[in-house]
Amino acid sequence: MRDPEHEQISREKLEQLQLERLQLKVKEVYERVPYYTQAFKSRGIKPADIKKLSDLTKLPFTSKLDFKKNYPLGLMAVPMERIVRIHSSSGTTDKPTIAPYTRGDIETWSEILARGLATAGITSKDIFQNAFGYGLFTGGMGYHYGVERLGAVVIPTSAGNTKRQITLMQDLGTTVLGCTPSYALIIGEVAREMGVDLRKTKLRLALCGAEPISEQMREDIKEGLGVDVISDYGLTEAMGPGVSIECPYHCGMHIPEDHFLVEVVDPNTGEQLPNGVQGELVITSLTKEAYPIIRFRTRDITSLNSEPCKCGRTLARMSRVTGRTDDMLKVKGVNVFPSQIENVLLKIEGVEPHYLIVVDRTEAFSCSDIEILVEVNDSIFSDKMQTIEKMEEKLRLALEAVLGIQTRIRLVEPKTLTRSEGKSKRVVDRSELSNLK
Ligand SMILES: [Zn+2]
């Protein structure tokens, strides 16, 4: 354990530390960020009103919309002279989230990641091939600094150029591969095409993050790469990667609670939910300097567990993110998450881990029906029309049994759907479909 003082802290001591840090941070943003001054004033809140940790609920939420309204740097709490780096989310369809860092922020982030990597079982003896994208995206540089801080070797391959990734893995004796889960699948696929058995290399672990990963997808990556898979969770607004990370027991992702104060709330009412109940993750940063966040609504659906872990850490764990509040589809009154669909699809033989959910949205979350494009392997597709229809029917019934709604299934040929080296898009509006291909 890299930092037992914090990783094995008692709940009581942790809450005391969190309260002290929260009070300081609230005072700071109130005094320095006009947006927060206004938001607190409109609720009649002053920093002095935060007397105990449960007073957190008095503070207003911050949302993606607030980031957008304050684009690019309206929420910054320090002058530009103190900023040493700026990252950004991809923001392909919308204004991106800009993430500035002070020197102190980079230090903290590197340390959180080094601690996270150690939580995952990575040591200074490892060779970490960093296939997260370098550049504006937080993934590449974030991990890069974390791995260096841990004292392991980092190979900054970035994403893409997959054949070279595999050659380097063999030649340099890579022990840990870091990348998005969808890219891990691609690497497995390409290695197979190249006739390379990754089980015969020194690779022993894959660290996957930046997009949700289902149990089935984890199994597929394990199968493709022949190694164990550790999940990491992060978001640009909070810092980047490293907001939580699994230990080798795979029983949730540990959150560095000395840096992040987390809540899970009902996405509709905003009420806090007890541990173990699924809801929207809300994060307050306790140590960020440049861009602190207060009660930021992540839109990610998860649940918390504060029981001490088998690994000896007392820091709370969050469960795998099962969906996003904005991915949540309401189909004829039933809440459906893409991850549920994925779980069903990937259990069926012949189905490839590539699919696209096409919706006709009538309002925010509601849609009249959903159609799912599913890639199947060659053997099924080259078969008779009858086989295809039978398979479609099988998928339809399997989904109906789990979701309780009717869906339309269309099987597509292998490699039809767009592959992503970054975040995969699983849900599209029918109107966007023509632009996709
Ligand atoms: Zn653990």
How many Å lie between the centroid of ligand 1 and the Cα of residue 247?
5
Contact of 238 with 216, CB cutoff 8 Å? no
First to last CA, the chain: 47
How many Å lie between the centroid of ligand 1 and the Cα of residue 252?
7
How many Å lie between the centroid of ligand 1 and the Cα of residue 310?
6
Q: In order of start, what are the domains of the chain with their CATH numbers? A: 1-324 (3.40.50.12780), 329-436 (3.30.300.30)
How many Å lie between the centroid of ligand 1 and the Cα of residue 361?
40
How many Å lie between the centroid of ligand 1 and the Cα of residue 73?
36
Local structure of 340: helix, strand or coil: helix
Assign 3-state DSSP to the chain and report helix, strand, coil percentages, each to 5.
Answer: 35, 25, 40
Residues within 5 Å of ion ligand 1 by Cβ? Answer: 247, 309, 311, 313
How many Å lie between the centroid of ligand 1 and the Cα of residue 146?
19
How many Å lie between the centroid of ligand 1 and the Cα of residue 118?
11
Tokens of 408: 């339309």
How many Å lie between the centroid of ligand 1 and the Cα of residue 68?
36
Quote the CA–CA distance of 229 and 207 in Å, as a whole number.
6
Unique residue bearing structure tokens 């354990």:
1
How many Å lie between the centroid of ligand 1 and the Cα of residue 5?
15
How many Å lie between the centroid of ligand 1 and the Cα of residue 219?
20
How many Å lie between the centroid of ligand 1 and the Cα of residue 320?
14
How many Å lie between the centroid of ligand 1 and the Cα of residue 139?
23
The pTM assigned to this predicted structure is 0.80
How many Å lie between the centroid of ligand 1 and the Cα of residue 234?
18
Give pLDDT tens digits along the chain (437 positions).
999 999 999 999 999 999 999 999 999 999 999 999 999 999 999 999 999 999 999 999 999 889 999 999 999 999 999 999 999 997 666 789 999 999 999 999 999 999 999 999 999 999 999 999 999 999 999 999 999 999 999 999 999 999 999 999 999 999 999 999 999 999 999 999 999 999 999 999 999 998 878 888 899 999 999 999 999 999 999 999 999 999 999 999 999 999 999 999 988 789 999 999 889 999 999 999 999 999 999 999 999 999 999 999 999 999 999 878 877 787 877 778 787 888 889 888 888 888 999 988 766 566 778 899 999 888 887 767 888 899 999 999 999 998 888 899 999 988 888 876 665 678 888 877 765 54
Per the document, the length of the chain is 437
CA distances from 19 to 13, 32, 334 (A): 10, 20, 39
